[in-house]
């Protein structure tokens, strides 16, 4: 399988990647909401082999249907985000404003890793940071 050059990956993700933090209603959880950090790269099904290659090279995430004929390599596991994805993009920096979204995403993931979202105050703080993740 092709091994992608680290700089190719950064260029591709500068264009096609997204960092999200979703705050979704879930009455079963302590504060009634679930916070879900995720990194996704979306492609048309014709390039699913690139998504599979990235999943294989990074050793984390899944390739899943996104919308219709579009697929995503998606990493949701917080440990994989903290130990694999975030260090990679710290080492190999973005050139677009994705750099700012990444820094915000990294900040949220580190706070979640410290368990901040398990206190009410911390939960509110993370939910507010998640809302302002996107670069305007």
Q: Kindly state the tokens that stand for 58.
A: 């990074």
- The arrangement of strands across the sheet holding 33-44 comes to 17-25, 33-44, 70-75, 62-67
Work out which of 25, 28, 46, 91 binds its own copies, going by CB under 8 A.
46
Is 70 near its own copies (CB under 8 A)?
no
Q: Kindly state the tokens that stand for 31.
A: 């504060």
**Residue 51 burial (10 A CB sphere; 0-12, 13-18, 19+):** buried
Pick between residue 8 and residue 119 the one whose CB is nearest to its own copies.
Answer: 8
Pick between residue 96 and residue 113 the one whose CB is nearest to its own copies.
Answer: 96
Among positions 83-112, residues that touch its own copies (CB under 8 A) are 95-97
Cα(71)–Cα(96) distance, integer angstroms: 23
Is 9 near its own copies (CB under 8 A)?
yes
User: Binding-site residue total for its own copies (CB under 8 A)?
Assistant: 23
Is 77 near its own copies (CB under 8 A)?
no
Is 11 near its own copies (CB under 8 A)?
yes
């Amino acid at each position: 399988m092709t091994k992608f050059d680290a700089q190719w990956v950064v260029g591709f993700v500068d264009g096609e990647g997204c960092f999200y933090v979703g705050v979704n209603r879930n009455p079963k959880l302590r504060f009634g909401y679930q916070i879900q950090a995720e990194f996704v790269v979306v492609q048309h099904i014709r390039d699913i082999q690139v998504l599979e290659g990235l999943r294989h090279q990074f050793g984390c995430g899944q390739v899943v249907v996104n919308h219709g004929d579009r697929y995503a390599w998606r990493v949701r596991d917080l440990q994989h985000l903290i130990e694999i994805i975030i260090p990679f993009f710290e080492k190999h920096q973005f050139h677009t404003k994705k750099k700012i979204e990444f820094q915000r995403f990294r900040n949220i993931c580190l706070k979640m890793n410290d368990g901040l979202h398990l206190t009410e105050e911390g939960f509110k703080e993370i939910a507010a940071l998640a809302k302002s993740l996107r670069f305007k």
